[in-house]
Amino acid sequence: MTQEPLPIYKLIVLYMLDRLSYPVSTAQISEFVVDRGYMNFLTLQQVISELSGAGLLDAQKALNRTQLRITQEGHDTLSYFEDSISRGLRDEICGYLEENGLRMRSEASIRSDYRKIADGEFEARLQAIDNGMPLVSIQLNVPTEELAVRVCNNWQKHNEAIYQYLTTALL
């Protein structure tokens, strides 16, 4: 029997997402709520699932990451219950986001995914996004899923150098 997460857990997640203008991964939310002991990872997964099911947040899967963004309905709901979050906790969340926001935004702006295409090949889709606009989008066909995963992982690690190389070579 699963236990219903406390409403405050849902409000914490909504509050964090409401303060961000870009989608973030479950892992990025986890860094705050799990590492600081507000909830464990399984509870966070349940909270995200329930918020998504209720239409309060949008959860998009890409490769091994889930990108989260608050919906308008989530924002409206939060506005009714925001005062249920203590001032101290709101300040702690805002401080954390202020301190880590640039890193979180950078991590969220680099996207990679792959999919199987005809003839057993895989297409790796790589993107770097700034202010909601793509800086670069690359689609690369590779012969195996293992290579597609490696391409996606290497894009996450080396995107800046690749982008710099492309702009230098092409401009």
DSSP string, 11-30: HHHHHHHHT-SS-EEHHHHH
CA atoms within 13 A on the CB side of 68: 30
Q: What is the DSSP letter of 70?
A: E
CATH 1.10.10.10 range(s) for the chain read 7-108
Residue by residue, pLDDT tens for the chain (171 residues) are: 455 568 999 999 999 999 998 888 888 999 999 999 999 999 999 999 999 999 999 988 765 578 899 999 999 999 999 999 999 999 999 999 999 887 888 777 888 889 999 888 999 999 888 766 788 899 999 999 999 999 998 998 888 898 889 889 998
Q: What is the pLDDT of residue 4?
A: 57
Which strands sit side by side in the sheet containing 133-142, from one edge to the other?
A: 110-116, 122-130, 133-142
Read off the pLDDT of residues 61-92 as tens digits, 9 standing for 90 and up: 765 578 899 999 999 999 999 999 999 999 99
Q: What is the pLDDT of residue 5?
A: 62
Q: What is the DSSP letter of 38?
A: S
Are residues 104 and 24 in contact, defined by beta-carbon separation less than 8 angstroms? yes
Backbone conformation region of residue 132, classed left if phi is above 0, alpha if psi is from -120 to 50, else beta = left
Read off the pLDDT of residues 49-62 as tens digits, 9 standing for 90 and up: 999 999 999 988 76
Are residues 148 and 123 in contact, defined by beta-carbon separation less than 8 angstroms? yes
Place of tokens 């805002």: 94
Pick the CATH number of 7-108 from 1.10.10.10, 3.40.50.620, 1.10.340.70, 1.10.3720.10: 1.10.10.10
Residue 63, SS3?
A: coil
3-class SS shares of the chain: helix, strand, coil, % to 5 = 55, 25, 20
